[in-house]
């Protein structure tokens, strides 16, 4: 469970232009993002307007 301080920090960080906060609902079940270990962030090409075509995706190798 997140504390009020953690939530305030997320809100503060979400104001940065290079930060996007995404929330996985508890009902979605176990998400690989909560497991310990290495991960790779996959980034996709920008379109002609310099906007991401897809959001970055976290890929956990060897899982």
39 lies in some domain: yes
| pLDDT above 80: residue 31 | no
Q: How many domains does the chain have?
A: 1
Mean pLDDT of 16-31: 84
| pLDDT above 80: residue 32 | no
Mean pLDDT of 11-31: 86
What pLDDT, on the 0 to 100 scale, is given for residue 60? Answer: 77
- Distance, in Å, from the CA atom of 11 to the CA atom of 8, rounded to the nearest integer, reads 5
Single pTM value for the model: 0.45
Cβ–Cβ under 8 Å, residues 26 and 2: no
30 lies in some domain: yes
Cβ–Cβ under 8 Å, residues 20 and 3: no
Structural domain boundaries enclosing 42: 24-63
What pLDDT, on the 0 to 100 scale, is given for residue 63? Answer: 62
9 lies in some domain: no
Q: At 6, which helix (H) or strand (E)?
A: helix 4-14
Residues 6+ apart with CB under 8 A from 39: 32, 33, 58, 59, 60, 61
11 lies in some domain: no
């Amino acid at each position: 469970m997140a504390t009020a301080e953690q939530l305030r920090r997320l809100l503060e960080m979400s104001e940065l232009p290079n930060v996007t906060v995404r929330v996985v609902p508890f009902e979605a079940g176990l998400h690989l993002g909560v497991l310990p270990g290495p991960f790779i962030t996959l980034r996709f090409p920008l379109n002609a307007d310099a906007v991401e075509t897809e959001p970055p995706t976290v890929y956990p190798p060897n899982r």
